[in-house]
């Protein structure tokens, strides 16, 4: 007779046997259905369990459970379990080990999650400065919203009059960048790699197999296009007081930086919302984050709203 048990019951059996030293061949399927691992950018209750056990904390020093596998969760997993391999993720064996040692880990770990800073890459550098670099912003925008390569030659519907595009930079319409020295270097590097590897440059290709070139392109965008445009336009459209607040808050800095991808008209609208809130006496960071998100989600524009949802659900949790 075949006896069916729930996943929860199966997990409990395995964990109890593991604690008591009893060997078992039972492999509970508690992780990702396809890979049987937990990897960065995944969401779910199992990730929340990991966060609880590794002692993830918020800025206020209190336990933080987001159910999202971001940079800070990974940082603490690495700290407590050196065997963790980012390219593999949290395996079934490692997950069980984390759960079995839950109280020991969380009681020892008193560090709060750090903010993003430094250079951009698949494994972003982390520091406790509370800042976010412009290449980091590009990395987040590309990963969650902008995506990879597009060429009109692909003849894919719904792209309108878009020109050749990579990481949100339009070669045809973004002439200020395209015609600059940085833009010429950016597109020159792409042209060179396309000649070398023509079969790789397909729709939405993100250079996932060439991180060095990917990082170089993102750094060019961040330091040579985003940084100067951010500085010029925040001075122009934000009040001095609002600019100080935005510059010092990584989430608001991302919000306004991404406004430059959306266009200067949207940037101005986002700036007005923050100016009005700060001028009216709003100082709480969470309330200001909501002002920023609502200015996108309630914009009445489908693309801006969609981007706002991604910022709310994917990007802000990764910055927090």
According to the model, what pLDDT value does residue 88 have?
81
Rg, Å, the chain Cα set: 22
Supply the pLDDT for residue 251: 96
Mean pLDDT value of segment 301-320: 92
pLDDT of residue 2: 40
Least confident of 53-67, 185-199, 260-274: 53-67
Work out the pLDDT band at 20, boundaries 50, 70, 90. very low
**Residue 127: strand pairing partners:** 115
DSSP 28-58: ---S-TTTSSB-TT-BSHHHHHHHHHHT-B-
Measured between alpha carbons, how far is 73 from 226 in angstroms, rounded to an integer?
28
If pLDDT is split at 50, 70 and 90, which confidence band does 281 have? Answer: very high
> What pLDDT was estimated at residue 320?
62
Q: How far is it, in rounded angstroms, from Cα 273 to Cα 289?
A: 11
What is the predicted pLDDT for the residue at 65?
A: 83
Q: Give CA–CA dist 292/166, Å, rounded.
A: 26
Q: What is the pLDDT of residue 28?
A: 40
Say whether pLDDT at 232 is over 50: yes
- pLDDT of amino acid 31: 57
Strand partners, 254: none
Q: What pLDDT shows up at residue 103?
A: 60
- With a pLDDT cut of 70, the percent of the chain lying above it is 78
- Measured CA to CA, the distance from residue 270 to residue 273 in angstroms comes to 5
Residue with more model confidence, 86 or 269: 269
Task: Determine the Cα–Cα distance for residues 249 and 228; give it in Å rounded to an integer.
Answer: 18
Residue pLDDT, tens place only, 110-163:
444 434 433 333 333 322 234 799 999 999 999 999 989 999 998 876 677 789
pLDDT score of 71 more than 60? yes
Q: For residue 102, what pLDDT is reported?
A: 76
Residues β-bridged to residue 63: 57
Confidence grade of residue 94 (pLDDT, cut at 50, 70, 90): confident
Q: Assess whether pLDDT exceeds 50 at residue 15.
A: no
Dist. CA 29–CA 91, nearest whole Å:
11
Mean pLDDT computed over every residue of the chain: 81
Q: How far is CA 208 from CA 42, 91, 123, 211, in A?
A: 18, 22, 13, 6
């Amino acid at each position: 007779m075949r006896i069916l048990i729930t996943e929860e019951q199966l997990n409990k059996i395995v964990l109890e046997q593991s604690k008591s030293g009893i060997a078992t061949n039972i492999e509970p399927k508690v992780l990702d259905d396809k890979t049987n691992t937990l990897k960065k950018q995944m969401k779910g209750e199992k990730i929340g369990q990991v966060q609880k056990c590794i002692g993830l904390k918020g800025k206020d020093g209190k336990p933080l459970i987001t159910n999202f596998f971001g940079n800070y969760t990974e940082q603490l997993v690495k700290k407590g379990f050196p065997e963790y391999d980012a390219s593999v993720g949290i395996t079934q064996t490692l997950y069980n080990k984390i759960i079995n040692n839950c109280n020991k880990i969380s009681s020892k770990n008193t560090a709060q999650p750090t903010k993003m800073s430094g250079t951009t890459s698949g494994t972003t550098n982390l520091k406790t400065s509370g800042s976010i670099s412009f290449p980091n912003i590009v990395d987040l925008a590309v990963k969650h919203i902008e995506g990879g390569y597009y060429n009109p030659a692909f003849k894919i519907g719904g792209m309108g009059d878009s020109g050749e595009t990579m990481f949100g930079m339009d070669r045809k319409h973004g002439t200020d960048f395209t015609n600059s020295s940085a833009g010429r270097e950016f597109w020159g590097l792409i042209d060179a790699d396309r000649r070398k590897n023509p079969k790789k440059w397909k729709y939405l290709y993100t250079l996932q197999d060439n991180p060095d070139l990917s990082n170089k392109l993102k750094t060019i965008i961040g330091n040579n296009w985003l940084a100067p445009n951010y500085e010029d336009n925040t001075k122009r459209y934000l009040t001095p007081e609002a600019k100080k607040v935005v510059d010092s808050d990584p989430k608001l800095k991302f919000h306004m930086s991404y406004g430059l991808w959306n266009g200067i008209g949207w940037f101005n609208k986002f700036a007005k919302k923050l100016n009005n809130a700060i001028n009216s006496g709003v100082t709480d960071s969470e309330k200001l984050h909501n002002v920023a998100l609502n200015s996108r989600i309630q914009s009445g524009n489908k693309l801006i709203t969609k981007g706002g949802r991604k910022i709310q659900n994917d990007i802000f949790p990764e910055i927090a």
